[in-house]
Copies of this chain bind each other. A is one copy, B any other.
Amino acid sequence: MITGKNYIGNTLSAKGEKTYKTFNPKLNTENNTLFVEATNHEINQAAQLATEAFKEYSQFSDVKKAKFLKAIAEEILALGDNLIQTYCSESGLPEGRAMGERGRTIGQLNGFAAHLEEGSWVEATIDTAQPERTPFPKSDIRKMLVPLGPVVVFGASNFPLAFSTAGGDTAAALASGCPVIVKSHPMHAGTGELVASAVIKAAERTGIPNGVFSNVNSSGIEVGQTLVQHPNVKAVGFTGSIRGGRALLDLAAKREEPIPVFAEMGSVNPVVILPEALKNRADAVAKTYAGSITLGSGQFCTNPGLILGVKSEGLTQFINTLSSQIKTIEPSCMLHPNIANAYNKNKEKALSQKGITVTAKYDENVAANFSKQTLTTVSGATFLENTTLHQEVFGPYSIVVQCENIEQLETLILKLEGQLTATVIADNNEASNYPKIISALQNRVGRIIFNGVPTGVEVCASMMHGGPYPSSTDSRFTAVGVDSIKRWVRPFSYQDWPNHLLPDALKNENPLGVYRIIDGLKTTNKI
């Protein structure tokens, strides 16, 4: 049952007076439950519980934390159809997507559990003592990663499960040993509460201290601001708009103790189609991209919003085919009236710029909150001049830039803002002929794709999901995959520390059997 209350640690709490409801965009009507926004007192309670719980939880073994994560996955599954129905009613997304995203969420939790069970993630590094060294003896020093402290996670509008309550950020933070306070996304507060109840159940049955997890409701920005400024909070995870992410980054930077904010924000994910590929398979590429652009109503951070090529017959053919394909794709429901309105507004702004030609527009009437996908084109010179055209239009919108020549294409890439991904579409060996284009792309993105599409972010150790600003606030960390745990930890050294008081990962006996670097050599040996 959804109560509309906050979880302040393990306790349901609703002391506030401000309330709100979620919205069913498909039915174009409000859902029933009344959600109660967290008060400052409740936020304080959650922060104090988290700090207290951190003392104990930060010392837990990886095996114990892994049990907790696996229990969360089980409890989420146990929510059954109730979760799927709530998800759909709060997001307009289809059941298949809900099931897929639940699978991804559970996969992430179990993936971190396995990462903990293996144990080498703490990067244990040991330099043994040299008491006879001259002129000074050398101490025994041992380093490993330790958790930062309480973390605030903001639920994402476009991933009610995989990037929200018990999504990637939360799973990574809990795995590292950090307590988590989730600022629930107002659009799917019911989904959030259900998942939060699963986390609390898992915590209770695996002996996790009260305060390791809280879930607070809010419809506006104040609760999030208060959390980011709270002295007990040591780091922040966010997925959303550039404006929202930057505001949190600025708040965190102004604190007496500045803290890291990992915001994964906007990206237009440039796709470069090289000349030979345009000449030989414009149609095939266009057909693939019609699907990628409109997937999930274009509501993905890796949606390809910018396609670049050099003027040619092939490029004209590509635009024609892509346009005709896009028009035939059925519009789909967007996440929320606010998202649909923003899409329409940003699209109109883009369309009103000088030099823009609309090549495809879904012209039939659609139901409220459904998307009308659009494709436009513009010259390289116009795109270079007008940075408004560089901005993301969140939804099924893309622009094809027709460059005069390869030099203009390179100049244009060098001037692009930071991006999550870039894609290169090339024929056999063609890519080798454009080293400057490729190196320019590499400097602007976090992931580069060859002859594929940027949508579909694989959850795996080799994934980099993040990129130069403004695609994310810190290009040095991924938001997806097991290495995302590195956002929530810091190295810690013990010097001449007694063996029996060291954490297991650093003990002479290597009781966990983890990989360690001992005097420069990677090994699982004892000392």
Binding site for B on A (CB under 8 A): 55, 58-59, 120, 125-127, 136, 138-139, 141-143, 146, 148-149, 249-250, 253-254, 257-258, 260, 418, 431-432, 438-439, 442-443, 446-452, 456, 458, 460-464, 466, 468-470, 473-478, 483, 486, 489-498, 500-501, 515, 517, 520, 522
Contact = CB atoms under 8 A, between A and B. Distances in A.
B497 A450 contact: yes
A261 to B, nearest CB: 10
A67 B443 CA distance: 25
Given A143-B462, A475-B490, A522-B120, A249 B253 contact: yes
Contact of A126 (B125, B257, B462): B462
Copies in the complex: 2
Given A146-B442, A249-B253, A475-B148, A493 B258 contact: no
A416 to B, nearest CB: 12
A146 to B, nearest CB: 7
Given A515-B522, A522-B515, A464 B491 contact: yes
A396 to B, nearest CB: 20
B249 A495 contact: no
Contact of A127 (B139, B253, B442, B462): B462
Contacts of A126: 462
Contact of A493 (B55, B446, B470): B446
Contact of A253 (B253, B468, B501): B253
A138 B475 CA distance: 25
A422 to B, nearest CB: 10
Contacts of A463: 127, 141, 143, 493
A143 B464 contact: yes
Given A149-B443, A432-B501, A475-B490, A141 B458 contact: yes
Given A432-B501, A447-B495, 17 more contacts: A58-B443, A127-B461, A136-B456, A138-B458, A139-B452, A143-B464, A146-B442, A249-B253, A258-B469, A446-B490, A447-B492, A449-B495, A450-B494, A451-B496, A462-B517, A463-B493, A468-B490
Contacts of A490: 446, 466, 468, 475-476
Nearest to A426: B498
Contacts of A257: 418, 468-470
A61 B143 CA distance: 29
A522 B494 CA distance: 26
- State the 8 A-B residue pairs at the shortest beta-carbon distance, nearest first: A253-B253, A464-B493, A447-B493, A141-B462, A449-B495, A143-B462, A127-B460, A475-B490
27 contacts: A120-B522, A125-B461, A125-B462, A126-B462, A127-B462, A127-B463, A139-B449, A139-B452, A139-B458, A143-B462, A143-B483, A253-B253, A257-B468, A257-B470, A260-B476, A431-B501, A446-B491, A447-B493, A448-B493, A450-B494, A450-B496, A450-B498, A452-B496, A464-B492, A466-B491, A468-B490, A515-B522
A367 to B, nearest CB: 28
Contact of A460 (B141, B249, B447): B141
Given A139-B452, A431-B501, A127 B458 contact: yes
A228 to B, nearest CB: 14
Contacts of A258: 249, 253, 469, 473
Contacts of A127: 458, 460-463
A520 B481 CA distance: 12
A59 B458 contact: no
Among A450, A461, A478, A495: residue with most chain B CB under 10 A: A495
Contacts of A125: 461-462, 483
Given A55-B439, A253-B253, A476-B490, A461 B136 contact: no
Nearest to A494: B448
Contact of A495 (B250, B443, B448, B466): B448
Contacts of A447: 492-495
A493 B479 CA distance: 13
A468 B458 CA distance: 34
A150 B450 CA distance: 28
A466 B146 CA distance: 14
Nearest to A461: B125
A134 to B, nearest CB: 13
B253 A495 contact: no
B253 A448 contact: no
Given A253-B249, A495-B450, A489 B462 contact: no
